[in-house]
Structure 1
């Protein structure tokens, strides 16, 4: 089955400064049975994240989805294509479906799908969004939380759907048995991620714990310089033991996860999924989490959940974990085992439970959508494990 994977504009599918969407696509494609038949469409960039066919297009301004759709139609005619998967953008997916009516299009979402408006005249836009969604051959949701939200907000859209989460090739992860007394926080430099509150809690904690250090890894710091500066200011009393990093390669982030004793995911909004929590468990850190949205789907009982997202609550959770090494090790082990069972990207499970891999779920759904487009009975797809 020949598949086109379409990344949003400004995404380059490159090893440097890769976004969570690009990392996710690289893992889905890399572990798929259809890897050798997949072409990733991305803007011009450096070495690709994974060794697959990549079609590079030149950077473009916003509002050119029709150009994208036409180029994909030309490439489909030249290469042949059975299925198109469009990442994240409803309007682009619908335009591509309109210009390629003989090829089914799946919208792959990494966030909550746009909510239906409830007040006039914004309710008129609901008709447009609903029309766009109905053009699609199917939709994947990143978590059970986002699947439920989509079903509640768009009951009139009855297209095939499946939960396809982030996943990892855990063979690439090497958690260290002996952990550094290091607290790790990774996230975008935006208020809803709770990084300022994490910095405030860490600063208070480090003032009383001279044997601990911290590393905060910010992405997109340049887009919110005032917020990034506020984080830096909060850490200033302990700057010699609290490192602020930005724009580092993903391999370095993974290395930090593999040696940090504690990781914090302090999101203030309902996380659609929460890849940073998955990374923390994969690396073997004990996790402190806000538990919002899809975060509890990842961690289950294998995290310390914050009573609220503020500096004092984060300081309190850090004091609990720092004082109890047995608890840290227990949470780290159970979290690592959980994600390796539920979120492995491909291959058999090490558990006695027969949980399909992430790529197996996606491949099955793709086959189902293509079969439906040819008039064959659709295959039933379940939700998240």
Structure 2
């Protein structure tokens, strides 16, 4: 924690949480806002389905690769410069997407957009731990999770409205505007939270040593898996939504919002409770309760789908309960990940984000296509995701929570 933290931010804690959450939402908005415009972009640019998929793949590739470096840069040059440069590049690349006349240009600018959009999310986590002691940091992280949970629900609605009324170019004009607003707010409000005594040398040997210490640490890797993999227990339902909701549950598109309503409601409710429990419940117990909720509801969901033909009224709510359990424990586990490297919290946040991105990409590209055509298979995959997180947490809980009842 920065020893001068008390003098760096004098506004309400919720204001800093809101700023960091908005910064972290750039990535979600970059994906979810333009997805409704897929068909419109394809017609306008005469792009094939494969080329359109490349606009998403390029973004995800750039996002995952650069997540490895945003934090290391912030550990050396400061949190504020990395955030400001990241938003600036994001804004320019969004404008480039809006002005693209060929699908090749769009793929290139989407790659650059992905490379830059993760900076504020990765560095934002490190800023929270720079500024607040553990219990207070948990409350702020929970508030960030609440705000962040709104993005996946709001972004497609915004993108759809812009597409219908102004065309697909307006989606990226909107993202450009968002980038300008966030850069301005960050330039005016965001303090430099990396203390001068905690800055790390930006030298290849030093960086490689730091990366190696983390990737060779079973404790760090297990915590990163415990925080990132269970998310996919609900995320695969989002990825499979058109088939799950339309083909399997026979819901019309106008009712698809029910899935997002339960999912986002669960995330916001779990994150809210996590913040309320900070300092009142041991970390080990809170994490255990979160995993218990996920495992229990995933098991019930599997049994129901094995015994009965899925109906929307009982098949969707378990996803919301699962989301609640994940959001209850993830702020705590995320902070434990950062505390594994007190002098390299930016790098730790980078690696955690990279591991999460790789897990998400694997689920999106491999798992979801395999299981989306069966509610039973979806339920089984969701249960397995929670089990991976439970096993990872069980492996390290005693060492991480030394001195605290796990």
TM-score after normalising by structure 2: 0.22
Of Structure 1 and Structure 2, which has the larger fraction of its residues in strand?
A: 1
Of Structure 1 and Structure 2, which has the larger fraction of its residues in helix?
A: 2
Higher relative contact order (CA 8 A, sep 6+): 2
TM-score after normalising by structure 1: 0.23
